[in-house]
Structure 1
Amino acid sequence: MGSRIENVIRTAVQTFATKPNGSFVNANVSHNMNILRQLLSEICPADDLGLTRYSGQPRFPLNLFSSKAAPVSYMEIFENQTVSIGIFVLKDGASIPLHDHVGMYGILKVLYGSLNVQSYSSIDLPGQTNSSIVHQPQYLKARRFPISCINEKDSPAVLSPSEHNLHTIWTVGGPASFLDILAPPYDPSGTLNGGEVRDCYYYSDVAGEDGMPSNSEIRLLKKTSCPPSFWCDSLTYCGPDIKHLQHELN
């Protein structure tokens, strides 16, 4: 039997594997995602990912702190054409700006600390407004959901291609980290997804512009560049050996 993280990787690949026509190999995606969420809930960061605690700050692992100044760090665990799996580490006060996951499934499991998540679902509601601004390609309408505060005791959060597929994330009361699964992965070059470019785009919530209501759950989002305050450096994976999976599952 493999390690817990190996089981997570195998289950994620099996859950989101697709046929040449784009349909899922395993048709019952919801059922398989529930199995995957349960596996993630059983992950122990120290034992299963090598994220060791230390006495100076017992709620956070020493080896998650980068020597660089980036507010956010990323530790890649596994990636192929089906999924990307990794760990994001946010320093105290850091945030990941509002961004999209168009056409993706995603699962987020907090490992240490607490996070606020503000999510949106993109919508097309013709007739809801006479504003001309929403017909411009850099704008989209979205339904905003209440902020969720999640920590390591909570079940993994989920997004789908049509629900909660835009979000912003920020720390609560100290640094935090989470394990992140995306399917299919981002691929700005188109090399993973058979030539399909799948890039990450950033947005700002500009409800109130051009007559859009500012106090509604229906929001106007404007595509923007990545904020200069946000950048990400890399951390080295230090968990159980999974190199064999890169060959086996590709």
Structure 2
Amino acid sequence: MQMCIFCFPTSSVIPLHDHPEMTVFGKVLYGSLHVKSYDWIEPTCIRESTEPGCPQVRLARLVMDKVFTAPCRTSVLYPKSGGNLHCFTAVSPCAVLDVLAPPYREDLGRKCTYYIDYPFSTSGNGAQISNGKEEDYAWLAETETPDDLYMQPGVYVGPTIQV
């Protein structure tokens, strides 16, 4: 497993990303954090763009769009449900504890991918929703790791823990 504590100043963001084949336990330790999360629609619904330079998009369902303020419950993201694709925005200075199992490991397909979300209505090629409202769905396109994303690694000074 891998444990991380993210400390956010107000308005800082971790962009929309995933935790493939991983379960994540998250807990807001102090402050307030806005969380927007999605799950992929199954069976997979992909739209290829006919416009040059426009990315392929995949349909996802909105799971959560709310603010968590400490003290609050622990959230659990499963590999295929619970909002595994998500972004964080600090409403106030805050900290979040994440426990990931198993940890990221690129050679086993557990690599973080970043996404951009587009409203469902942006796809004009006849896609229809059978459950819910259009506002509950979005098209997600893979994107490069944002250039302005910077996470300062922490230093652990306590005893070594074997898990």
TM surpasses 0.5: yes
Deviations 1:196-226 (A, max 9, x none): 1311000001234331689431211000012
Question: 1:6-85 counterparts in 2 under 5 A?
Answer: 83-85=1-3
For the residues of structure 1 that align with 2:37 and 2:26, how far apart are their CA atoms? 13
Give the 3-state SS of the residue equivalent to 2:4 in structure 1.
strand
Offset, 1:154: 0.3
The aligned length equals 151
**How far did residue 138 of structure 1 move?**
4.7
Larger Rg: 1
- C-alpha spacing 1:92/1:143, structure 2 compared with 1 (3 Å): same
Secondary structure, in 3 states, of the residue corresponding to 2:135? coil
Tell me: CA distance 1:138–1:186, structure 2 relative to 1, closer, same or farther (3 Å).
farther
Equivalent residue number for residue 210 of structure 1: 123
> Following the alignment from structure 2 to structure 1, what is the Cα–Cα distance between the partners of residues 36 and 62?
8
Residue 97 of structure 1 and its aligned partner are, at CA, apart by 0.1
Distance 2:31 2:17 in 1: 22
Q: CA deviation at 1:132?
A: 4.0
Please list every run of 5 or more consecutive structure 1 residues that lacks an aligned counterpart in the other structure: 1-82, 191-195
Aligned partners of 1:225 and 1:209: how far apart in 2? Answer: 21
Counterpart secondary structure, 1:216: helix
Q: Residues 216, 179 of structure 1: CA spacing in aligned structure 2 closer, same or farther, 3 A cutoff? A: same
| TM-score under structure 2 length normalisation | 0.80
**Counterpart in 1 of 2:140?**
221
Identical columns (%): 33
**Residue equivalent to 1:52:** none
Amino acid at match of 2:150: W
Deviations 1:69-111 (A, max 9, x none): xxxxxxxxxxxxxx10121111221010000112111111111
Letter in 2 for 1:210: S
Change (3 A) 1:124 1:176: same
Which consecutive residues of structure 2, in runs of 5 or more, have no partner in the other structure?
A: 50-54
| CA distances 1:141-185 after superposition (whole Å, capped 9, x unpaired) | 11012412112210111110111110001111x211111011111
TM-score, normalised to structure 1, is 0.54
Q: How well do the aligned residues superpose, as a CA RMSD in angstroms?
A: 2.6
1:169 aligns with 2:88: yes
**1:230 equivalent in structure 2:** 149
Higher relative contact order (CA 8 A, sep 6+): 2
Distance 1:160 1:132 in 2: 28
C-alpha distance in 1 between matches for 2:73 and 2:94: 16
More strand by share: 2
Deviation readout 1:116-140 (Å, 9 max, x if unpaired): 11010111246x79x544xxx9532
